[in-house]
Amino acid sequence: MTPLLFVLTVAAISFLAGFLGSLLGLGGGIIVVPALTLMLHVDIRLAIGASIISVIATSSGAAASYVRDRLANLRVAMFLELGTTTGAIIGAYLAGIVHPRFLFILFSVILAYSAFAMLRGRRLAEEQTEVGAFTRHLKLSGSYFDDAAGIDIAYEPVRARLGLLLMLVAGTVSGLLGIGSGALKVPAMDLAMELPIKVSSATSNFMIGVTAAASAGVYFARGQIDPILTAPVALGVLAGAMLGSHTLGRIGSRAVRVIFVIVLVLISVQMLLKGIHG
Q: How many helices (H) and strands (E) does the chain have?
A: 11, 2
Q: What is the pTM of this model?
A: 0.67
Distance CA 85, CA 205 (A): 14
Distance CA 151, CA 235 (A): 35
Contact in structure between 211 and 59 (CB atoms under 8 Å) = no
pLDDT digits (tens, 9 = 90+) for 219-266: 788 787 888 888 898 888 888 877 877 776 677 767 777 877 887 788
Calculate the alpha carbon distances from 30 to 144, 159, 216 in Å.
Answer: 27, 27, 16
Contact in structure between 172 and 103 (CB atoms under 8 Å) = no
Distance CA 102, CA 115 (A): 20
Query: Rg for the chain (alpha carbons), in Å?
Result: 17
Res. 53 pLDDT band, cuts 50 70 90: confident
pLDDT digits (tens, 9 = 90+) for 91-129: 878 877 777 677 778 778 877 877 776 676 544 444 555
Contact in structure between 203 and 69 (CB atoms under 8 Å) = no
Q: How many CB atoms lie within 10 A of CB 216?
A: 21
Q: Is the dihedral of CA 111, 113, 116, 120 positive or negative?
A: negative
